Amino acid sequence: MVPKERGAAMSRTPWLLFWVVGVALAGCSLDAYELTGDGGVGPGDGATDDVSTVGADTGPLCIPPGTEEICNELDDDCDGVVDNGFDKQNDPANCGTCGNLCVAPFANVICVEGACVVESCQLGFADLDPAAPGCEYQCPVYPPQPEDCNGVDEDCDGEVDEPADLPAPPQGLCRIQAGTPCEGVAMICATRGSPAVTTWYCDYPPQVEFDPLLPNGIALTETLCDGHDGDCDGAADEDFTDLGQECDNGGIGACRDVGMRVCDPVDATATVCDLTYLPDPDPLAPRVEVCNGADDNCDGIVDNFDPADPARVVDDMVHITHHGLDFWIYRYEASRPDATGLGSGASAARACSRPGVVPWANVTYDEAAAACAAVGKRICAPDEWLATCEGVSLNLYPYGGSYLGATCNGVDHDGVPGGTDDDVLLPTGALAACVSSDGAYDLSGNLREWTDQQTGVSPGGDPIYVVRGGEYHTPAPGLTCDFTQSQAVSTVVLPTIGFRCCSDVAP
């Protein structure tokens, strides 16, 4: 049974029927009013109309001529041509298939033979990654320029400062002084400093101190004490002005250890006192102060003689209490504080009484008296000197009543063993047997000794004093304790005259 609506349609004018038949022959659906859902094979069978069910000849419903064709893979205008008027081989809006729009980021895309192709990049962009769509790389500089050393991709090729594209480096900026770490240096394109700066730099070796803010890259002054000529001026570490100077451990006296300022191996910006450059301090310091020109007890006072100071030098003296006398006298001929076994020294600060050192000769009477006074003592009186030499037994020589030529250092003693007889000055106490009964050494021979016994005045008005005991080339008669014929003007300076000090109080 034909539906009412269809029956009504069938009663329309005959020209419509002929048009439907003609379109059917062109490929459109045979049944423009497919309502039965049977594919348009025949009249409706009364089943429910389902326009989604089509048969073998299903197509778009035929539309009257003049309907516009759209690109949808269908023959919209029923002229027998699908999507006529659309160039899917070249249309960027329907490239290859309908609706396939040729677009890509920052690119100009065209359709070629049904495929989207990037024709060009938009201004300021480049296509450097084939796997990425469109022109994914934005040029840091536009328009592109020749590459220079600055850390920027100026030619928009995705590479920065590639050597093949760089111009020749600037000339004449590097310091290339011969004989320094800068010799033969050339410029390179590099990134250095903090914050980092990319530009042309002189390719100095690590020994050169680098300053990226300066044209030639060299620090104006050396900041590292490392033994290198860091500023290539021909001198190493010259800005560390204390380098090589003497330094110490802060101790005093014999406790002071002297060293030299060197580059600090830990902190290269400083120097340090290297105490290994010079001998170590006295290994026995601090110790009891002795008269030697040194601060043995490290208290800051050299050879202190102040009686109130418990650390004072205790002079080696002999206590004489016979022949009605009571005094103290140096055990040894006086010596300078800095005397050694090889030399008499040069210090005149005070007189010392020490064994094993060259005694103090070439000294005037006044100089000798001053050296004794510096330690609270005086030049010995003649009776004091004689009592010490003779002893209780009134010996002719300090060692006894008979002359023994080799016992003391007189003319008959060979001061240098072997060969001919040598008369030379010996260190104090060198001859152990040349000692008085009270324990005083060298009262016979070695050096004549000033006493305060004045015998007259010289033509120039200077006092004349007796010198006792003889010296290293005096014969036997002049080596006796009581010989008083040797006299000298107080101002005379002779290598054969010395002295010793006496005191009324204990050292």
Complete DSSP assignment for 206-231: TTSPB-TTSTT-B-SS----SSS-TT
* Domain containing residue 498: CATH number: 3.90.1580.10
Note the pLDDT of residue 194.
81
Residues 406 and 491 in one domain: yes
Confidence tier at 18 by pLDDT (50, 70, 90): very low
Note the pLDDT of residue 34.
40
**Tokens 């060259």 found at:** 358
Average pLDDT over residues 463-476: 97
Of 68, 96, 127, the last residue of a domain is: 68
List of residues 6+ apart from 139 with CB closer than 8 A: 124, 125, 126, 153, 156
| Structure token pair of residue 49 | 């109309």
Confidence tier at 404 by pLDDT (50, 70, 90): very high
Note the pLDDT of residue 197.
87
Domain assignment present for residue 379? The answer is: yes
Look at residue 153 and tell me whether its pLDDT is greater than 50: yes
16-30, 236-250, 316-330 — which is least confidently predicted? 16-30
Look at residue 8 and tell me whether its pLDDT is greater than 50: no
- Distance, in Å, from the CA atom of 273 to the CA atom of 261, rounded to the nearest integer, reads 4
Look at residue 126 and tell me whether its pLDDT is greater than 50: yes
Cβ–Cβ under 8 Å, residues 212 and 201: yes
Note the pLDDT of residue 71.
92
- How does the average pLDDT of the chain come out, rounded? 86
Q: How many domains does the chain have?
A: 3
Residues 247 and 337 in one domain: no
Domain assignment present for residue 345? The answer is: yes
Cβ–Cβ under 8 Å, residues 382 and 452: yes
Look at residue 150 and tell me whether its pLDDT is greater than 70: yes
Domain assignment present for residue 428? The answer is: yes
Residues 371 and 486 in one domain: yes
If one compares 43 and 62, the residue with the highest pLDDT of the two is 62
DSSP string spanning 53-69? ---TT--PPP--TTPPP
- Residue % of the chain over a pLDDT of 90: 64
Which candidate, 493, 490, 426, 434, places its Cα nearest to that of 461?
Answer: 490
Domain assignment present for residue 268? The answer is: yes
| Structure token pair of residue 396 | 């002719």
Domain assignment present for residue 229? The answer is: no
- Distance, in Å, from the CA atom of 410 to the CA atom of 406, rounded to the nearest integer, reads 8
Of 281, 312, 343, the last residue of a domain is: 312
Cβ–Cβ under 8 Å, residues 340 and 465: no
Residues 340 and 445 in one domain: yes
Average pLDDT over residues 127-147: 93
Note the pLDDT of residue 390.
97
Element (H, E) at 25: helix 14-26
Note the pLDDT of residue 62.
54
Beta strands in 271-422 (DSSP E): 271-274, 317-320, 327-330, 378-379
**Tokens 């081989």 found at:** 89
Note the pLDDT of residue 61.
53
Element (H, E) at 6: helix 4-10
Of 312, 335, 350, the last residue of a domain is: 312
Which candidate, 344, 365, 363, places its Cα nearest to that of 293?
Answer: 344
Residues 263 and 354 in one domain: no
Look at residue 214 and tell me whether its pLDDT is greater than 80: no
Residues 308 and 326 in one domain: no
Eight-class DSSP state of 381: P
Residues 393 and 249 in one domain: no
Element (H, E) at 368: helix 365-373
Element (H, E) at 371: helix 365-373
Residues 346 and 290 in one domain: no
Domain assignment present for residue 41? The answer is: yes
Confidence tier at 35 by pLDDT (50, 70, 90): very low
Average pLDDT over residues 18-47: 39
Note the pLDDT of residue 277.
74
Average pLDDT over residues 251-255: 89
User: What range does the domain containing 288 cover?
Assistant: 240-312
Task: Please report, for residues 112, 144, 219, 362, the alpha-carbon distance to residue 92 in angstroms, rounded to integers and kept in the order given.
Answer: 9, 29, 63, 122
Domain assignment present for residue 133? The answer is: no
User: Which neighbouring-strand residues pair with 457?
Assistant: 463
Confidence tier at 240 by pLDDT (50, 70, 90): very high
Average pLDDT over residues 267-277: 92
Look at residue 10 and tell me whether its pLDDT is greater than 60: no
Average pLDDT over residues 473-499: 97
Look at residue 124 and tell me whether its pLDDT is greater than 50: yes
Cβ–Cβ under 8 Å, residues 407 and 421: no
Note the pLDDT of residue 68.
84
Q: Could you read off the pLDDT of 44-74 as tens digits, one per residue?
A: 344 344 433 333 444 455 555 667 889 999 9
- Distance, in Å, from the CA atom of 408 to the CA atom of 425, rounded to the nearest integer, reads 11
Note the pLDDT of residue 3.
33
Query: Is residue 27 classed exposed, middle or buried when 0-12, 13-18 and 19+ CB atoms within 10 A define those classes?
Result: middle
Q: Could you read off the pLDDT of 342-356 as tens digits, one per residue?
A: 999 999 999 999 999
- What sign has the CA pseudo-torsion 395, 401, 406, 409? positive
Query: Is residue 290 classed exposed, middle or buried when 0-12, 13-18 and 19+ CB atoms within 10 A define those classes?
Result: middle
Note the pLDDT of residue 58.
47
Give me Rg for the CA atoms of the chain. Answer: 62
Q: Could you read off the pLDDT of 86-123 as tens digits, one per residue?
A: 999 999 999 999 999 999 999 999 999 999 999 999 99
Tell me, yes or no, if the pTM score tops 0.75. no
Look at residue 13 and tell me whether its pLDDT is greater than 70: no
**Could you tell me if residue 257 is left (phi over 0), alpha (psi between -120 and 50 degrees) or otherwise beta?**
beta
Residues 283 and 424 in one domain: no
Look at residue 392 and tell me whether its pLDDT is greater than 90: yes
Residues 351 and 400 in one domain: yes
Domain assignment present for residue 123? The answer is: no
- Distance, in Å, from the CA atom of 314 to the CA atom of 134, rounded to the nearest integer, reads 104
- Distance, in Å, from the CA atom of 273 to the CA atom of 257, rounded to the nearest integer, reads 10
Residues 341 and 365 in one domain: yes
Residues 333 and 424 in one domain: yes
If one compares 121 and 77, the residue with the highest pLDDT of the two is 121
